């Protein structure tokens, strides 16, 4: 069970009612399509073009996570800006690479700071 505070008291919430993590695939295609206000076929096209990769159950049913829904929303923004699906795919790949490189740069900065800090302490 998970717990949360409400008005100074501790309320217990069964674990199965806890909100899923953003990467946990919980929505079927019809629910995802409804939440996104798109047709299920649109989601199938995006998947066929490699723009989104929903999880699959053992029976092959698509399951979308909140992260997948955010990605489809981003696809919609890029399409509305005038890109075609090939352009959308390139932009999404570049955004992913940019995030990866930024994380790598932040780690390098942190490592450098640790090294500077340890060298000034030992001097």
Predicted confidence at residue 118, as pLDDT, reads 86
pTM (predicted TM-score): 0.74
Q: For the segment 60-107, what is each residue's pLDDT rounded down to a tens digit?
A: 999 999 999 999 999 999 999 999 999 999 999 999 999 999 999 999
Count CB atoms within 10 A of the CB of residue 50: 11
> Is 16's pLDDT higher than 80?
no
Q: For the segment 17-63, what is each residue's pLDDT rounded down to a tens digit?
A: 677 788 888 999 999 999 999 999 999 999 999 999 999 999 999 99
> Is 6's pLDDT higher than 60?
no
pLDDT confidence band for 13 (50 / 70 / 90): low
What is the end-to-end Cα distance of the chain in Å, rounded?
A: 51
Given a contact cutoff of 8 angstroms between Cβ atoms, the answer to whether 54 and 63 are in contact is yes
Determine the Cα–Cα distance for residues 115 and 120; give it in Å rounded to an integer: 9
Given a contact cutoff of 8 angstroms between Cβ atoms, the answer to whether 51 and 13 are in contact is no
Predicted confidence at residue 123, as pLDDT, reads 63
Determine the Cα–Cα distance for residues 73 and 79; give it in Å rounded to an integer: 10
């Amino acid at each position: 069970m998970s717990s949360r505070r409400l008005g100074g008291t501790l309320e217990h919430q069964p674990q199965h009612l806890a909100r899923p993590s953003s990467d946990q695939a919980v929505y079927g295609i019809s629910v995802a399509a409804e939440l996104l206000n798109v047709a299920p076929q649109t989601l199938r096209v995006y998947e066929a073009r490699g723009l989104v990769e929903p999880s699959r159950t053992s029976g092959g049913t698509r399951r979308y996570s909140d992260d997948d829904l955010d990605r489809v929303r981003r696809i919609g923004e890029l399409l509305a800006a005038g890109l075609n699906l090939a352009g959308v795919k390139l932009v999404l790949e570049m955004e992913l690479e940019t995030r990866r490189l930024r994380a790598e740069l932040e780690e390098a900065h942190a490592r450098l700071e640790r090294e500077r800090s340890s060298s000034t302490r030992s001097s």
